[in-house]
Structure 1
């Protein structure tokens, strides 16, 4: 079984313009980093024109599907029928994207099959991480 899960999602960027802009994004989950979800936006979808990766807790993503969750740079909440709003707070401003909740649930199910919730600590390599810290 692969140690990485990746899933393309279609996000809708919410802006002050009257139109919603579709933005491709990729969700990924790595068994070696079992507490985190990575969401990658390609260069055309960002203000800087470079790929941007947001990293946040898998637990936060799961919580935000059913009720508002998060108090920091990443916040999630259900929105209407079948959508979840993801707010990304940066120094440049706030990006709000809508993502189909079903896509997020499917992604989370795959991550749970790879690393069940509560067993994340079993997939950490503390010795290797400590060796890397001490080698610096």
Structure 2
């Protein structure tokens, strides 16, 4: 059984210009980091010309389907009937994108089949992590 879910999504960049360009993005969920989701934008879609990856809580993405959530670098909220807005705040500026809610739901369902929401802690090797920390402290 796979331990990683990856899904391509079509994002629409909200810009000052009236036209909202489509940009590709990849959502990624890894059982090895069960609380996190990664959203990656390829180099051509970024101002810096390098691939950009944002990591944030899976719960943030799920909650953002129904109500506005987030107070830090990543904020998510529903928009209209079929869209979700994701805001990414960085020192260089803020990127605001729209993604179809159905794509987010499909991704979260696949992640939930891999690791059900609320059972993420069962994927963590806390004893092994603690042993590594103690070994390094000696």
Q: TM-score range by the shorter chain?
A: over 0.9
Taking the TM superposition and a 5 Å limit, the aligned residue runs for 1:1-136 are 1-130=1-130, 131=132, 135=136
TM (norm. structure 2) is 0.93
Shift in Å, 1:81: 1.8
How does the TM-score come out when normalised to structure 1? 0.95
Report the secondary structure of 1:32's partner residue: coil
- Counterparts of 2:134 and 2:85, CA distance in 1: 36
Q: Partners in 1 of 2:128 and 2:10 — Cα distance?
A: 36
C-alpha distance in structure 1 between counterparts of 2:18 and 2:81, whole Å: 21
Does the residue aligned with 2:87 lie in a helix, a strand or coil? Answer: strand
C-alpha distance in 2, partners of 1:92/1:134?
39
- Show structure 2 runs of 5+ residues with no match: none
Indicate how the Cα distance of structure 1 residues 133 and 96 shifts in structure 2: closer, same or farther if over 3 A, else same. farther
CA distance in 1, matches of 2:46, 2:135: 35
Distance in 1 (alpha carbons) for counterparts of 2:136 and 2:26:
32
**In structure 2, the residue corresponding to 1:108 is in which secondary structure?**
helix
Q: Which has the larger radius of gyration?
A: 2
- Unaligned runs of 5+ residues in structure 1 are none
Cα RMSD after superposing both structures: 1.5
Distance change in 2, residues 1:132/1:39 (3 Å)? farther
Shift, 1:129, TM fit? 3.3
Distance 1:4 1:29 in 2: 6
Distance 1:30 1:110 in 2: 11
Inter-partner Cα distance in structure 1 for 2:134 and 2:65: 35
